[in-house]
Amino acid sequence: MVRYDPHVWRSTFFAVRGSMVQVIALRSFSVTLVAAVFTALHFFLYPLSVANMMGVHGIVSTAMGLLLVFRTNASYDRWWEGRKLWGAIVNTCRNLARSSVVHLHDTPERLETVLRLVRAFPPAATHLLRNKQWSAPELFTHADSGRALAKSHPPLAICTALSEQFKDAHRSNR
């Protein structure tokens, strides 16, 4: 993720990590190279000209403009939906931690386990969504991490472990 400070825009403007520059750099360089070759041909070897086809250009540019607008809107909608869902995950984790502190205050070992699992859920979901291997030894005890990391879906394993903790607390009238 690119950290953005609106007062220091130069560092963000030239940031490569986390941006699309790495993805489009080769394509942009190729297009620039082809344009430079055609420009050199036009000025130094043979003047190139294009027939007046303004009608075709107008139709194509209108279609391209609409396509670009629709693609931009669709990608922004996907981004906004992801942002809303991530906000819901953060709020739910925060509310679960707050409620756990209130209801499990007299069993500190269970409260610590629940808070550790709640803290582990967002990074586990992030790594799963990015298809990256996840290991968080600082967030787990050895037994917890073995169970969560052995599963193909660590966030689901964390939710299952949380459910077990709440079920045990309910059985002991906590």
Which sequence spans correspond to the domains of the chain?
9-66, 82-171
Taking the C-alpha atoms of residue 109 and residue 127, their distance in angstroms, rounded to an integer, is 27
Does 100 score more than 90 pLDDT? yes
Residue 94's pLDDT is: 96
Residue 128's pLDDT is: 86
C-beta separation of 103 from 113 below 8 A: no
Residue 172's pLDDT is: 86
Taking the C-alpha atoms of residue 21 and residue 19, their distance in angstroms, rounded to an integer, is 5
* Per-residue buried b or exposed e for 92-122, using 16+ beta carbons within 10 Å of the residue's own CB: ebeebeeebeeebeebeebbebbebbbbbbb
Q: How confident is the model at residue 131 (pLDDT cuts 50, 70, 90)?
A: confident
Give the predicted TM-score (pTM) of the model. 0.59
C-beta separation of 100 from 111 below 8 A: yes
